Every structure is written in C-alpha cells, then in structure tokens.
Amino acid sequence: METILTISCKLITQGDQVAKLDATLVNFAAACNWINQSVDSKLTNNVRIQSLVYEQVRQQFDLSANLAIRAINRVAGNRKTAKQKGKSVKDFKPTSVDYDARIFAYNEKNQTVSLKLVGGREKFKLSLGSYQIGKLKGKKPTSATLVKTKKGEYFINIQVKDEAPQPIESKDVLGVDLGRTDICVTTNGFRASGKQITKIRNHHSRLRASLQQKASKGTRSSRRRCRQLLKRLSGKERRFQKHANHVVSKILVQQALASNSVIALENLEGIRERTNQLPRSKKERRLSNSWSFFELRQFITYKSLAAGVEIVLVDPRYTSKTCHCCNVIGERNGKSFKCINAVCNWTGDADYNGLCRLQRLQRLLGKHSTLFSFSTTLPIHHTCIY
C-alpha cells in the first residue's frame, strides 16, 4: 500500500520568470474552461476527451503536449468528483497547474526544480526549510502542482510517495469517541476538550454576523471592506479547524502506536443529514454542522497508515446508550449514563461507557472484523504531519 505526502516549496523567481509562470497559469485555466464547455458534460473519460480536443487545445492555448494532457485529465477528474456529489463543474481559475515526471524534475543536490512553461522550460531555486529538506532527501518525485497564492507568491507542491509500513501487531483497542463538547475522548483517559474551541467558534460567529450586517448597508467602500474581512475570517476559521484536527489526530496515533493498539472509530457517515432532520435551535445546528469531523477522520487515517496503525469502524447506533458491562440499553442524561439493569446498575460518564463498548465490540469481533487501512492522497495544502 502507498502513502502520499505533499511537500510545499516556495519558488524563487528571477527576471521574466514571473510573466512565464502567469502565462502558463492563465493558458492552463483557459484550456480547462474551453474543454469543459466544448465537450459533453456527461463525458468523464479522459481518453475519450483527449481524442476530441487534444489538437485544438495545443493550437489555441500554446501548451506543450504534456500540459495539454494535464489539462484534459484535470477536467475529467473534476467532473468525476462533481458527479459523485451530484454537482457540475462550473469554471477553472488560473491558480494551479498539474505536472508529471516528463515536464517536472527535482534536483536534490542544487535544491532546484525544472518546470515546463509557456515559452520553454525554466529552472527555479527553492526556498526550503529543514522539514522540506528532510522529507525530500533521497526521493525522486514524479508529480507536482504549481500554485499561485493570493499574495502573488509561487509554490511547487511536490508529491512524495512511500510504501506504507506493515501494520503493527495489535494487543489492545483504543476506542475513540468524537463529539462537540469534547472533540475526542479515548479509553486510555485522553480528552481533547472542546470548551476553548467552542469559545473561539462562537466569537467567529458573532464577528461574522456583525460584518454581514454592516456589509448590507453603509457606504460603497465600507460594504466592500466588510466583504473582504468576511473572506479573511472564513480562511482564518478554516486554518484554525485544520490545526486543531492535526494536533488531535497526531496525539491519537501516537497513543495507539505506543500501546500497540487498533484505533476504533464510530462510522459517522451521513450523521449530519440525519441530525439535521431533528428540531434544533439555530445555534445548535451551527455548532453541529460547522466542525469538520470528516477532516479529522481523514487526518487520523493517513497518519495511522504512515505509522502502521490499523483502524476499525464500528456501527455507532446506541454506542453510548448501551451499557458496556451487560449490553442493556440504559438512560443517558447529558454527559451521565445509568444502566437500568438492576443486577448491573453501572453509572458513569456516557462517553467513557461508549468507548468501553467500542473496545468490547472489537474484541468480540476479533479476527473476523474488517480493518480499514486506506491510502489517502492529501489535498494540496496538507503539507506536513504535525
């Protein structure tokens, strides 16, 4: 099995290289938009799309053979992703270009990259830190993505592929309960409190509401400024969530590795759609829907794969309401749980009860359970393992 880590490296530009980079980004995006508009929207096979538009793309947009192929593949890939979500591809912006081994090369000795651009091939010096140098040492990457940031800086995001280590021999199960009051609680006593996180999220919500109100009235310049601040706030919230999820996922994987444990997670797929059907206040709906638990699960997954830790997904129904001692469905009141079985009569924290049940389910399943250790290709800006 293969793991893929994306290393983000800043390009040092000189002379007319900026103009060539911009021309490549603009032409690549224009080619993608033309392909998307010219080819039947139902067609997602890159080979069939290539047979229809390859010659025209090369002639109209001054792209090399491989850049034309990359543009066709991007349109096909985006269409497949959009189709799974029941959406359609609208447009492409001049912010990134895909590269493969034939139009991209990394030189470890000189810390440079060579890229095929509009007007010829160019060599760029990289601005690297010790983290990037360590991850790229001894590697021969074959794919990368050229990215232009909002600040006008240029980065090359290099994909480094490695074989995943063999899974460790597990002796125990580390049950993990994900939630909103506590981001996660584990059976070994670790608890990532969500109190401070909720406080920050509420602050962002109040600030966003205030800016939205001001953006709907006032002078033209003040409305424009409020819209700019709302955009910045959105990015700040997204980065905050990503950082918190990175920290929590790293701790969980380190604990599982130290104790030779399998990580047991509740399979919460589709839970947001189900809970949204229940009557809840606007605040409760916002708090439940705005945190990215799927992103946290992705981070746990790829970190576990890189560390050789296996993951098991367990049916979440009645997990925290079923007593882990006698399997009788009891009563839950907020964070407290009480077993209604007169013989058992166990009481305690509901999250702890759910975690112990996760452990027991996995032990009962034993070797007959299905362990999910899947390779995850990280999105472009996931550049480091915390």
pLDDT, tens digit (0-9, with 9 covering 90-100), for 323-363: 878 877 777 776 677 888 877 878 887 767 776 766 665 55
Q: Radius of gyration (Cα) for the chain, nearest Å? A: 25
- Average the pLDDT over 256-276 and give the result: 74
**H helices of the chain, where?**
17-38, 46-61, 65-84, 130-136, 195-215, 220-258, 271-275, 282-289, 293-307, 350-365
Q: Counting every residue, how long is the chain? A: 386
User: First-to-last CA distance in the chain?
Assistant: 22
CB 335 within 8 A of CB 166: no
- Average the pLDDT over 141-162 and give the result: 92
**Cα 322 to Cα 128, 329, 337, distances in angstroms:** 52, 4, 9
**Structure confidence at residue 167 (pLDDT):** 81
Strand order of the β-sheet with 331-333 is 331-333, 336-338, 347-349
Query: Would you state the torsion angle of the CA atoms of residues 211, 216, 217, 223, taken in this order, to the nearest 10 degrees?
Result: 60
CB-based burial label for 58 (10 Å; 0-12, 13-18, 19+)? middle
- Tokens found for residue 5: 């880590």
> Taking the CB of residue 163, how many other CB atoms lie within 10 A of it?
8
The helix (run of H) or strand (run of E) holding residue 349 is: strand 347-349
Q: In whole angstroms, give the CA distance from residue 39 to residue 304.
A: 41
Give the global pTM.
Answer: 0.70
**Structure confidence at residue 228 (pLDDT):** 85
**Structure confidence at residue 384 (pLDDT):** 37
Q: In whole angstroms, give the CA distance from residue 51 to residue 291.
A: 43
- Looking at the chain, which residues constitute the CATH 3.30.420 domain(s)? 172-194+245-368
296 has a pLDDT exceeding 70: yes
Specify which residues 329 forms β-bridges with: 322
The helix (run of H) or strand (run of E) holding residue 222 is: helix 220-258
Cβ contacts of 132 within 8 Å, gap of 6 or more: 7, 8, 9, 126
- Tokens found for residue 381: 């800006």
- Tokens found for residue 336: 């407290």
Q: In whole angstroms, give the CA distance from residue 202 to residue 200.
A: 5
**H helices of 85-186, where?**
130-136
> Taking the CB of residue 330, how many other CB atoms lie within 10 A of it?
21
**Structure confidence at residue 187 (pLDDT):** 77
The helix (run of H) or strand (run of E) holding residue 186 is: strand 182-186
**Structure confidence at residue 331 (pLDDT):** 72
The model's confidence at residue 147, banded by pLDDT at 50, 70 and 90, is: very high
Q: In whole angstroms, give the CA distance from residue 328 to residue 340.
A: 7
Residue 363: alpha-carbon gap to chain centroid: 30
Choose the CATH number for 172-194+245-368 among 1.10.3470, 3.30.420, 3.30.2420, 3.40.50.
Answer: 3.30.420
